A and B are shown apart, each in its own frame.
Chain A
Amino acid sequence: MKDLVRQKLSINVDVMDMLNEQIAREAHSSSIYLAMASWCDHSALNNSAHFFYEQAKEEREHMMKIFKFINDNGGMAYSPEVSNITHEYNSLEEVFESALEQEIGITKSIHNIVLKCRKVNDLTTENFLQWFIKEQMEEEQTMRNALDLFELMGTEGIALKLIDERIPGISE
């Protein structure tokens, strides 16, 4: 009997499920960053707002990358539903802390998929996810750089304005 499933699908079906879950996570992440951008915009933190608009765009690009990968390899990608987005934060520091938590969560789930790929010998997906591993390392570092600014400069008085001015440089 010829293996029709293998002929049609070049990635493991359980890994495909995990990738679909990852699509939903990336979409959720994109929406969270959009909410953060909105909060920063309303708080007159223009550079931070711009930073989070860009982050939202990036997360959507990550989502699309996985979406295309699934479909290109014979699988079926599902358009995600997004819910539970908070728009309420106490401070810019809290915004960046939440952003770092968000990135750590994404990194963990990417690592989980890679571990599953190794278990089921899905080398195609493992190879595809290498780009995401490197990308997540950089994303986490960017958020940590922002949080370092709060440690260095505090949050009193003019410090917040000075931190906002330095946000465009945190990913360098």
Chain B
Amino acid sequence: MATVLFKSRFYSAYQSEKGRCFFVDIQQKRVKMSFCQLLAFRQKVITMDLDAHFNGDLNRHGIEILTLCNREHLFILDTLEVIDLKMFVQGIFTMSELHTMVTV
């Protein structure tokens, strides 16, 4: 069984009740992540240069290639998906932060 952690327009994150792991739905694919992999995912998304998407020289095609879990998964994202992904990642950790505050 998995509990919803956070949902955005394109993505959903769940927390496994038994498996001590997370699931993230990206482009019709469910990716299982350990916490360490979730942190690595977060870092990759944070370091994506969104400004480059609006600069024809830096990112001409406006796409981003995201590899996850030691290159086990590969996704190609467009600008809208990247914007949503950045908010999504922030949302996951904000929710867990709020959860900590409530349970203190």
Which of A's residues lie within 8 Å of B, judged by CB? 1-9, 12-13, 17, 74-76, 78, 120
Contacts and interface: CB of A to CB of B under 8 A. Distances in A.
A76 B40 contact: yes
B54 interface: no
B31 interface: no
B36 A4 contact: no
Given A1-B15, A4-B15, A4-B20, A74 B35 contact: yes
B38 to A, nearest CB: 8
B43 A3 contact: no
Interface of B: 3, 15, 17, 20, 22, 35-36, 39-40, 42-43, 46, 93, 96-97, 99-100, 103
Nearest to A6: B100
Given A1-B3, A1-B15, A1-B17, A6 B96 contact: yes
A13 B36 CA distance: 12
Nearest first, the 6 closest Cβ-Cβ pairs linking A and B are A8-B35, A5-B96, A76-B39, A1-B3, A13-B93, A6-B100
10 contacts: A1-B99, A3-B103, A4-B15, A4-B20, A5-B93, A5-B99, A6-B99, A6-B100, A9-B39, A13-B42
Contacts of B97: 12-13, 120
Contacts of B40: 76
